[in-house]
Structure 1
């Protein structure tokens, strides 16, 4: 009897903010994501559980919030709380493999220093780099086969942060598009699909491709590097940020990141490269989808596009991400296409989270989810139904990065956002009156009742997920 379970293709980007591709978002050309939205279901309110790479990716694998899986900060730094994801935790890769799925993986991992995708149920086909894993020789050999050698000194129009150890923010690479990592990852993905189609295996496949972008440095080849004119990039509404009434870390972070002296012209030039990077990656995802169609795998394959978290790119005058729980870094793109199941061109305004993909994949594979997950399957939403008990809010965390440990918790409803900052003042935003989160209302007398209600909701979430701060944090919220 043929296996009716779907193949799954997960296309994950790195640091893609939702407004790059959302229906009412920025004027960035992303025809592939537009195509997926038109053929699938777009989630307007998708959020990451945490805005930092290792932690978010570990949550995706385990269906758990970071306090439970233990990967609290980035695994590649010297101050990493954990070097690797604990092997005792069930992950969807291992569970799918046990259920007969043929799993493959291309690109960024960044969930540990010593154990890669092979330790969690996947065949790994390469494509990462030294910063996040071991140096990937396959990409180096690929570039050599094209006769392309490009070093840092060859970059054009580079933008660097200030400081003793400047960080490259953006640049144009003279390498042709086909010699870039994004193109290479698409090539390896197409190879994986072709291998599976040729093998005609008995079980379904799960393939995951993790692009190393549009995370900085926004190093982009032509014609994408000059596709967006910096003069046409309007200042973010959040660029009006003054840090007045905000936690001290907000004002400290631009100095720490080396961007305190960036003016709007500098940010516009960086944002233009960021936009071009996204268009370039979108084109590579398009190549993958075209191959899927050419191989006759369209109807039997569920396609999911998401990102681990967003990016500031000058919003709130910030670079990268950090202990700032704004929409630009916590709201993520999420679109699902599954022929015959998902109604084409639909949207959902239900609150969903990146880690909800874990039990969704298991649901598709007829695999019971492990007990104690901090996630739930998106299947009813994909079927056009919203369960009566579906949450009307979402919850997120932050535990720190190289800036230092910094405990934060966030709860967001349709109208309000409340942020708990353990060592500093809390935050409250009225997203209806202030959608750009410029005015902290935590001490505003007219919002006292709202503050109490949001604090109580935060405590409910902390109790529901057995948050390690649940016993003492509520005492500071009264």
Structure 2
């Protein structure tokens, strides 16, 4: 972390960190970023050294979870502090229909902040919600692109159609989304006067597919150096239909789906390192501003990626831990450094109220997340509130089964099916992992301690111990020795289901909601933890 403002030679002494009005807020959001593929979590490849260093100087969480393992629902939760049950965005196309009150951008603007969204949006937000808006997608920059290099790269990227490029990307780092996004961010920050605080959201579309990366990153993690996955396609035999369907889509769209997994992983890890270097560049580019103004930096992701586990890439099926758990690092002048990861269970929905408190704003009505600001700044907080975390998935109704889908014979890529799209120049198919099959139904997950509980609308319940079973392959639901954990997590699930219900609208002249000054609801976890 850079020198704390007010401590450089000749500077005016400042009050305690965290009490200065108008703390700068920087949010770095990545897309489809697995939490466990980094050295700080023991992964053998050093994919994010700078992010790991921020975790050491601030706080990092290895029990941070998305609210739903797909883009729009998760991002809407981050902006509103509400769960998908409340904001109603349970699938990506529903993002314009979000049900909400105040959000992170409206609260920042109400506090007099300069605001910018630069990068991938994929929410209900639009250019009118921020003072500065530059949007990127997985196909490059949206709207007018001025540089010829960027135009050429964006056309090449779109032509990949979300697939894997199995050679070094034939464009330099300067053409890549992360580099251009950081350039845009630093250019905008230079226009904001130091006496005005800012909210900057830097939203990187990667390491989401298409899996591609240029040199020198392409050669950093060659296929032969990759640690083996802990499971293969054989693990799908005991999985529900949506998992097997997901693998079938990939096999129908890619000539050698299994053979493409290793280069996809290699590119994925290389892209993580490229993003990490760009995060370092952003951090260093903010140093001059940080000399005169306090800040807080949050780095997180919307959800994870299979990255080869279960013989799959991307996302789509259910709520496995590797999709639901997300990286979360918070650094800043007021943030107390931790020796290792925090034991608290936290959610993307917690970030909006946390940053409201960092900006000196009251937590708005309708927010369901729990402010992390007291725990981050070393003040007392009810630890029992963070003894568990809750995730949702599914757009409703009963899930599709094999009897509902006319799946073509094995190896037949031409048969129509949900998620298989024939849009290539010669009619080649591609696949969308977020389709009617994988997103049908309704599912919930709770994690508390080392245990996870899964439940779905069909009455399927599963219980897993992550210590011995990180991929959740061994169901302990009927194990008598796990009976205590089963009851404990079922109790938490029942409470979370009610907590996720929408408390809006507030009724004029009605009864006030019970909420204390830190934004916590009446504590309940002490009875279930």
Category of TM-score, reference length = shorter chain: 0.7 to 0.9
Q: Within the alignment, does 1:9 sit opposite 2:26 as a pair?
A: yes
Shift of 1:255: 1.1
- Alpha-carbon separation, structure 2, partners of 1:302 and 1:332: 19
List runs of 5+ in structure 1 lacking aligned partners: 76-80, 159-165, 469-478
Single out whichever of 274-283 and 431-440 deviates more from structure 2. 431-440
Q: Could you tell me whether the CA contact under 8 Å between 1:299 and 1:339 is conserved in 2?
A: no
| 1:241-390 alignment runs, 5 A limit | 241-258=234-251, 265-297=259-291, 300-343=294-337, 347-384=341-378, 385-390=380-385
Q: What corresponds to 1:414 in structure 2? A: 449
Q: Could you tell me whether the CA contact under 8 Å between 2:162 and 2:211 is conserved in 1?
A: no
Q: Could you tell me whether the CA contact under 8 Å between 1:47 and 1:331 is conserved in 2?
A: yes
- Alpha-carbon separation, structure 2, partners of 1:325 and 1:214: 19
TM-score normalised over the length of structure 2: 0.77
**SS of the counterpart of 1:348?**
coil
**SS of the counterpart of 1:238?**
coil
Size of the aligned set, in residue pairs, is 442
Q: Within the alignment, does 1:141 sit opposite 2:141 as a pair?
A: no
Shift of 1:318: 2.0
Single out whichever of 435-444 and 351-360 deviates more from structure 2. 435-444
The counterpart of 1:191, out of the listed 187, 193, 196, is 187
Q: What corresponds to 2:169 in structure 1? A: 173
Q: Could you tell me whether the CA contact under 8 Å between 2:89 and 2:97 is conserved in 1?
A: yes
Shift of 1:23: 1.0
Over residues 299-340 of structure 1, what are the superposed CA-to-partner deviations in whole Å (9 max), with x where a residue is unaligned?
611111111111111112222112321121111111111124
Over residues 17-72 of structure 1, what are the superposed CA-to-partner deviations in whole Å (9 max), with x where a residue is unaligned?
11133612321332220221122111121111110000000000110000110111
**SS of the counterpart of 1:225?**
coil
- Alpha-carbon separation, structure 1, partners of 2:340 and 2:203: 25
List runs of 5+ in structure 2 lacking aligned partners: 1-13, 396-433, 504-529
Shift of 1:105: 1.3
Single out whichever of 50-59 and 379-388 deviates more from structure 2. 379-388
Aligned-residue CA RMSD (Å): 2.9
- Alpha-carbon separation, structure 2, partners of 1:106 and 1:52: 20
Over residues 126-155 of structure 1, what are the superposed CA-to-partner deviations in whole Å (9 max), with x where a residue is unaligned?
1313879xx6234x323x167855744999
- Alpha-carbon separation, structure 1, partners of 2:208 and 2:138: 15
Q: 1:146 to 1:236 in 2, by over 3 A?
A: closer
TM-score normalised over the length of structure 1: 0.84
Q: 1:194 to 1:21 in 2, by over 3 A?
A: farther
Q: Report the structure number with the largest CA radius of gyration.
A: 2
Q: What corresponds to 1:425 in structure 2? A: 460
The counterpart of 1:129, out of the listed 129, 133, 137, is 137
Q: 1:82 to 1:263 in 2, by over 3 A?
A: closer
- Alpha-carbon separation, structure 1, partners of 2:293 and 2:63: 27
Q: Could you tell me whether the CA contact under 8 Å between 1:321 and 1:329 is conserved in 2?
A: yes
The counterpart of 2:96, out of the listed 57, 76, 83, is 83
- Alpha-carbon separation, structure 2, partners of 1:188 and 1:360: 26
Q: Within the alignment, does 1:74 sit opposite 2:87 as a pair?
A: no
Q: 1:464 to 1:271 in 2, by over 3 A?
A: same
